[in-house]
Amino acid sequence: MLHIGIAFIILVVLLIIGVPVMYCFGTALLYSAVTLGYTATGMLPTIYGKLSSVVLLSIPLFIIAGKIMEHGKIGDALVGFIELFVGKIKGSLAVITSVACAVFGAICGSGMATLSCIGSIMMPKMRDKRYPMEIAAAVACCSAPLGMLIPPSSLCIVVAWGANLSVTACFLSTLIPGIILTTLISVVSYFMLRNKDIDVGNGLEQGVTLREVAGPRTVKAIPALLMPVIVLGGIYGGIMTTTEAAAVSAIYAIPVALWIYKGVTARGLKDVFIDGARTTGVVMVMCVMTMALGQILTMENLPTKVLAGLTSVSSNKYVILLMINVFLIFIGMIMDDTCATMLCAPLLIPIGTALGINPYQMCAILVVNIGMGNVTPPTAPFLYMASGMAKVNAFKVMKPVLIILLFAYLPTLLLTAFVPELSTWLPGLIMGSRIA
């Protein structure tokens, strides 16, 4: 345990001082392997077996689809459609930001792509309507993780891959928590803005009429809205596997971005593919690093030792679950979402199972916590990115972010952790005994 603890300290220190994540994990892995006597020949067969999984192929395909949609002006169509329904509410642009992030998340499955696309559209709109930009940045920042919660989610794929779970059931486990979080962020945003001197957005004058719903904005949004219908309908209907659905989403995204929304050109599409390939390469290298480190932790029987340590503090399942949540928040604060998920899924899901917690509930807990960690300093990549997009100091954004964390994220996290049905009912309804 001593060498494992030192390896973890090395990892955390390197992350805090700003060393690239790949080198942080590589250093921790090298230290663990040398001090504990593990060799490459002993680990490579297992790593190769995990990396050759067909499920893992869906990650680069969803990355490509997300990159295409991010640059393909799909966000404009989605924002225009959602604005029909809530545009006349004071503070509506904040609500639109939250809902649009949730819908876009159902298309690309990436929190960073969601923030990049929806944030770049909504920030100028909110500035024009005299919104306090620190609140605008906070709403965009806290809404971005909805791309991780609303299926298809790349993090759920990573959890399923790392813990040998059903990808479809993992998708379903985070859907209701994602809807709850979307609703709470919208409500909190409204209350933060209700007394501000801001302009009302563009929406329907009196209710939603059939004429308006069937109008140009709706027609424009149909190709974008069809994508999650095709992908998720294919997965949940048993027509396509997750990998096949990812391939369909990437293929579908190309003509939509090129010829319908005309957000990219054929030449620009080449750059999108190169960017997607670069991102995929980083993710795959991290898969190797975290897989090797996870294998060492498993062979050292760390999950059992951690469980024994937790139960020595308290035998109450809910107290232990609370400690796990605190640990995950800390991990999310210092690591990016993919690395945190790769590291924690194979470690914590067996611990949860030993405590009698459904593995799909643990999946939902993992994703909600890691999403929360992405907006919580010191790492907080979404916070800094949103602050830059809003052209406002990150420290000014922290106050409204903390309000949203307290009144939106924390209730969602507690409900997910202590009300199992929120994450297990839907997988059980659709997949039955297969998730037991």
Tokens of residue 98, six digits: 């939250």
Task: Give the model's pLDDT for residue 205.
Answer: 45
Average pLDDT over residues 204-213: 51
Amino acid at 237: G
349 in a domain, yes or no?
yes
Report yes or no: 269 and 254 within 8 Å, Cβ to Cβ: yes
89 in a domain, yes or no?
yes
- How does residue 344 score in pLDDT terms, banded at 50, 70 and 90? confident
Work out the number of other CB atoms within 10 angstroms of the CB of residue 434. 11
Q: In this model, does residue 402 exceed pLDDT 70?
A: yes
2 in a domain, yes or no?
no
Report yes or no: 88 and 203 within 8 Å, Cβ to Cβ: yes
Domain that holds residue 64: 54-435
Higher pLDDT, 307 or 413: 413
- How does residue 173 score in pLDDT terms, banded at 50, 70 and 90? very high
Report yes or no: 313 and 349 within 8 Å, Cβ to Cβ: no
Work out the number of other CB atoms within 10 angstroms of the CB of residue 211. 8
15 in a domain, yes or no?
no
Average pLDDT over residues 182-196: 91
pLDDT in tens, 42-71: 777 777 777 777 777 888 888 888 778 777
- How does residue 201 score in pLDDT terms, banded at 50, 70 and 90? low
Residue 257 is classified by DSSP as: I
Total domain count, the chain: 1
Nearest to residue 329, comparing CAs of 384, 395, 374, 394?
374
252 in a domain, yes or no?
yes
Task: Give the model's pLDDT for residue 376.
Answer: 81
pLDDT in tens, 31-48: 888 898 887 777 777 777
Return the half-sphere exposure (C-beta side, CA atoms, 13 A cut-off) of residue 390.
30
Report yes or no: 360 and 170 within 8 Å, Cβ to Cβ: yes
Q: What is the mean pLDDT of the chain?
A: 83
CA dihedral 327, 333, 337, 343 (to 10 degrees): -40
244 in a domain, yes or no?
yes
Report yes or no: 347 and 303 within 8 Å, Cβ to Cβ: yes
33 in a domain, yes or no?
no
Average pLDDT over residues 83-95: 75
Nearest to residue 54, comparing CAs of 244, 281, 338?
244
Give the per-residue SS3 of 191-233: HHHCCCCCCCCCCCCCCCCHHHHCCHHHHHHHHHHHHHHHHHH
314 in a domain, yes or no?
yes
